[in-house]
Amino acid sequence: VPAKKKEAVVLTDKEIIELARYGEILEEHYGLPQDIEWGVERGKIYILQSRPITTISGGKKAAGSKAVGAGSGKVLLSGLAAAPGVASGIVKIVSSGRELDKIKPGDIMVTKMTMPDMVPGMKRAGAIVTDEGGMASHAAIVSRELGCPAVVGTKKATFTLKDGMEITVDGGKGIIYEGVVAHAAPAKAAAPATAGGIFYSKPVTATEIKVNVSEPDRAEAAAATQADGVGLLRIEHMIIGMGKTPNWYIKNGKTEEYISALVDGIKTVADAFYPRPVWVRTLDAPTDEFRAMEGGEGEPHEHNPMLGWRGIRRDMTETDHFRLEVRAFKRLHEMGLTNVGIMLPMVQHVSEFQKAKALMREEGLDLDKIDVGIMIETPGAALTIEDFIEDGIDFISFGTNDLTQYTLAVDRNNENVAGLFSELHPAVLKLIEYVVEQCREAGVKTSICGQAGSYPEMAKRLVEMGITSISANIDAVAIVRDTVARSEKILIMNALRNKD
């Protein structure tokens, strides 16, 4: 670019002052300094997007430390950059869910690997650091949804870091620094950008953009993304947050308490999105997660719980708790929340789907008035999708975390093979494309709710395949929506060119 153009004045004084005024309005509206995207057309300023700035120094600066990324500051550890954001705080090492009382607001939670029963502590933490895990591990997924900086797979955080140490966690780069490094917030990172607000106008897309939700108390933040519905509402986090296994409630004659808790949690999300669809995944907790809870003393010890007694395979052998979930769904529909759909996890054979529907009918659920679908997480389900279509599924959703794990034989919780884990592997993409093609021809809705749905490159591929909807993490909805809008426009332009 010629020097004359590089040095040319782009904005007028009036436009600069107006932008500053918008900045003040947005900061006052959200209660935090904002990173603002804007554009000018024919002299009029348009605010395109606004998200909280999470890297402003809010506390004391460590002696001699400089800005993160400036090449200085002692690096203690590195790992996988699992959830963006920078936070400083005091290290609290946690070995189990029984030690969560140690975590005070803004502390850095350090553990071997997080489990669902640790979510209450994760909500208070300023950042999360783990020894184990990959980008699709529990720690990574939940941290991203909570908007909490996280570094996973460090291999030695619980050995290298000590209780009481002051550190800075850069979740965007996967680095842990000694002391308080400048540009790090001393407390919990701000919530992810909602891409909502008074100035945001979402692009209209033919592909529906939905959102994943793990905790009912994130319903408001999820709804603020203006998503077209919830593509995945996990109920195991609600159950684990109760501290007792479903069997405990059954054995102690407290099934009504259990059903009511499920209804209340699901209702919070369904109300926030009504009449937009909310697909609720039935219980999918590996046995090792239940073992730490009250009532989990009899849980079997499995060599690899990820490949074990979980999801639909547990539901169909231990049907009592599944029936309680069905009763909760029935009650929600009786309340008028007809936007709630049922999604069955870990299905690998159509007979499992048939048994589940038979149990639903026995409990009085009218399957003509509720959408029932399956997760495509196993190659077995993907390669026999025609059987499920013939049996009458209403929708499918790809759980790419597990589908990738089972297709590539790569443990998604193992940091040693994290580099081999890729949802864009040709084999995974072929399975997805095959299922989308078969479902599209049969008029069955298709979606994706795995972590890959939040990746722009995967979103682009899915649009080209003709997927019905994409469900992303709360912090990624706006980015995925913009990617989809661009991808759809490119497809239209290419189609017009080919026509000419």
Catalytic residues: 138, 449
Rounded CA-CA distance 130/310 in Å is 24
The DSSP code sequence of 261-315 is HHHHHHHHHHHHHTTS-EEEEPP---HHHHHTSBT-TT----S-GGGSS-THHHH
Q: What is the chain's length?
A: 500
For residue 185, list its beta bridge partners: 87
**Which residues neighbour 369 within 8 Å (Cβ) at sequence distance 6 or greater?**
333, 338
- Residue 275 class from Cβ within 10 Å (0-12 exposed, 13-18 middle, 19+ buried)? exposed
Question: What tokens appear for 162 in the block?
Answer: 């000590």
Token pair 């979103």: residue: 459
CA atoms in the 13 A half-sphere facing the CB of 33: 8
- Bridge pairing between strands 166-170 and 86-94: antiparallel
CB–CB of 419/385 below 8 Å?
no
CB–CB of 215/237 below 8 Å?
yes
**Which residues neighbour 45 within 8 Å (Cβ) at sequence distance 6 or greater?**
15, 18, 19, 22, 38, 39
CA atoms in the 13 A half-sphere facing the CB of 133: 28
Rounded CA-CA distance 344/367 in Å is 14
The DSSP code sequence of 434-477 is HHHHHHHHHT-EEEE-SGGGG-HHHHHHHHHHT-SEEEE-GGGH
CB–CB of 119/216 below 8 Å?
no
Quick one: how many helices (H) and strands (E) in the chain? 19, 18
CB–CB of 369/340 below 8 Å?
no
